Amino acid sequence: MIKIFKVTAILEGFSYVFLLANMIVNKHSNPELYKMLLFPIGMTHGILFIGYIYLTFILKARQNWKFKDIAIIILGSLIPLGAFFIEKKYLKNA
């Protein structure tokens, strides 16, 4: 289960970065490409985000994570590149 969470964390982090990059780069320079990419990237990120949160709570009991750890792990998914930090710090030895 922890391997699935690691993969989900990395994919969620990449999808967040791609979503932000699409918004920053394409919104004004290429609006058609922006509109074309917004739905698939946004939907992918949304599904991965929900999976990340769901797996966090499933692993909470299995890994005996404290409330502070859960809060940091969830906060890491809200900060760009935070999922990579979480994967490295909290999941490296798991």
Provide the residue-wise pLDDT of the chain in tens; the chain has 94 residues.
888 988 898 899 999 999 999 899 988 898 899 899 999 999 999 999 999 999 999 988 888 888 988 898 899 888 888 888 887 877 766 5
Distance CA 76, CA 31 (A): 30
Structure tokens that stand for 89 in this block? 């710090």
Please give the model's pTM, rounded to 2 decimal places: 0.84
